Amino acid sequence: MSSLNIGVVQVASFMEPGDGAKTKDTNLQTIFSNIEKLVFMNPTVDMIVFPELFLNGYDSTIWDEMAEPIPNGPTIQALCNKAKEVQKWIVPGSLVERGNDGKLYNTTLLISPEGEIKLKYRKVFIPYPLEVSSPGNEFPVFEIPGVGKVGFVICADGHYPESIRNLVMKGAELIIKPTLQGEWIGGLRNHTPIAITRAVENQCYVISVNQAGPAGMGNTVAVDPEGRIIEELNIQESFTFIYVDFEEVRRVRETGAFGMFGFLKMLKEFKEDGCNVDECYVNDISQAPVYNNLTFPHPKMPSDIIRYDLKKPTNV
């Protein structure tokens, strides 16, 4: 079997102002209830995916008290136990991790049906000053035995071609993107076209699972290797099932998108023919002329952080 039946859950985080414990516990129970519901409705589901920061919510002022180490945090262990109980792959969106260095990371996990963490990814492109976490520095992939290779990006990562291209160069065929994107961040003309573009240019599946309103704009979307939308939700809380055929990725990469454009094969061929297609990377992008007129440094954490409320974007 080289396919996955993926259940995606578009929900909005519960928030108890100033109470991280209640916020996290309530959202954890929502994850559990949705897992049980999807497994009951569709016993053949293989994987269940949730949005970015669903457990912790968008109030970064209480992230510090909610952060847990991975894999030994109590919430992490509860999620692993749940995956083992239902015998499904679980992607609990992303959550606030307390690293061994004491820093906070926006991290997503792939938990196996045996309750084991098979992949951990820390968000790299942090949208300062909106988010109080530190960036990761790796783009790992995991091969589900007998199925295919999976990689993660988180929300803003998807705006950078390098994120998914790094994963694809390592063989990723499915990109899962837990997301917390509001209507005010470009709306549909931003969220959906980016997912389509990343799928087409990398000839892979892209699934962006967003929070529902009011914090997120919903519109969870799944795109196939030729850029076709195969599933899309509206703004409200809802769920759907997506069939991902890894053989379709392999077919498109071999024979070409739209029956003619083998983008990845062409990239390799042109490079081997002497075309300097990766000039911007070989010559060090930090020295590129485009940066000459940009102001640095970019505002970073934790100095003078602007506390951000997604419900009041005009405050920033």
| Residues labelled catalytic | 52, 123, 155
Instruction: Give the dihedral of Cα atoms 225, 229, 235, 237; nearest 10 deg.
Output: -70
CA 309/CA 316 separation, integer angstroms:
9
CA 41/CA 22 separation, integer angstroms:
28
- Give which of 201, 155, 139, 173 is closest to 53, Cα–Cα: 155
Which residues does 201 contact at the CB level (< 8 Å), separation at least 6?
Answer: 161, 165, 263
Instruction: Name residue 148's beta-bridge partners.
Output: 144
Tokens for 144, please give them: 């589900």
Question: How many C-beta atoms surround the C-beta of residue 145 within 10 A?
Answer: 7
CA 55/CA 236 separation, integer angstroms:
18
Q: Where are the alpha helices (DSSP H) in 135-282?
A: 161-169, 188-202, 246-255, 263-272, 279-282
Q: Look at strands 141-144 and 117-122 and give their pairing.
A: unpaired
CA 314/CA 291 separation, integer angstroms:
28
